[in-house]
Amino acid sequence: MRLFTAALCTTVAAALLAGCSGSQVTPGTSGAGSTQSSSAHHGKYVPHWAFPASLVPVKFTAPHYQKVIMSLGHKGANSGGIYASEFEGSSIYGYSHKNTGNNPPSCTVSLGGTAYVNGLAVDGKGNLIVPEGSSPTSGSRQVNIFSGPGMCGSLAGIIDDPYGQPSDASSPDAVNGTIAVGNIFDNSGAGSISLCTLSSGTCSSNLTNAAMYEVAGVAMDNSGNCWASATNSGGTATLTYFAGCTGSGQQATGYLNTYYGGLDIDRNGNLVSIDSFASQLYVYSGCNPACTVVGGPYSMNGEAVFGHLNKQSMTFCAGDFENGTMDVYYYSPAALTYWYSFNNGLDTSYIPEGCAYNPRSTQ
| CATH code of 96's domain | 2.130.10.10
Residue 183 lies in a domain: yes
- Cα 2 vs. chain centroid, distance in angstroms? 15
Query: Residue 338: which H helix or E strand, with range?
Result: strand 335-342
Domain annotation covers residue 346: yes
1 lies in a domain?
no
CA-CA distance, 318 to 356, in Å (whole number)? Answer: 8
Flag whether 4 is in a domain.
no
Does a structural domain hold residue 45? no
Phi and psi (nearest 5°) for 54?
A: -65, -15
- Integer Cα distance of 183 and 166 in angstroms: 4
| Within a domain: 257 | yes
Q: Tell how strand 237-242 and strand 226-231 pair up.
A: antiparallel
Structural domain of residue 118, as residue ranges?
Answer: 55-358
Closest CA to 249 of 262, 266, 223, 230: 230
Whole-angstrom Cα Rg for the chain: 18
> What pLDDT is recorded for position 79?
73
pLDDT along the chain (363 residues), means of 10: 42 34 30 28 26 27 33 47 97 97 98 97 98 93 97 97 97 98 97 98 97 98 98 97 98 98 98 97 98 98 97 98 98 98 97 98 95
Q: What is the largest CA-CA distance in the chain?
A: 53
Measured CA to CA in angstroms, residue 156 lies from 174, 246, 248 at distances of 10, 26, 31
pLDDT at 353: 97
Q: What's the rounded Cα separation, in Å, for the pair 171 and 356?
A: 13
Give me the number of domains the chain comprises.
Answer: 1
User: What is the predicted pLDDT for the residue at 4?
Assistant: 57
Q: Say if 265 falls within a structural domain.
A: yes
Residue 2 lies in a domain: no
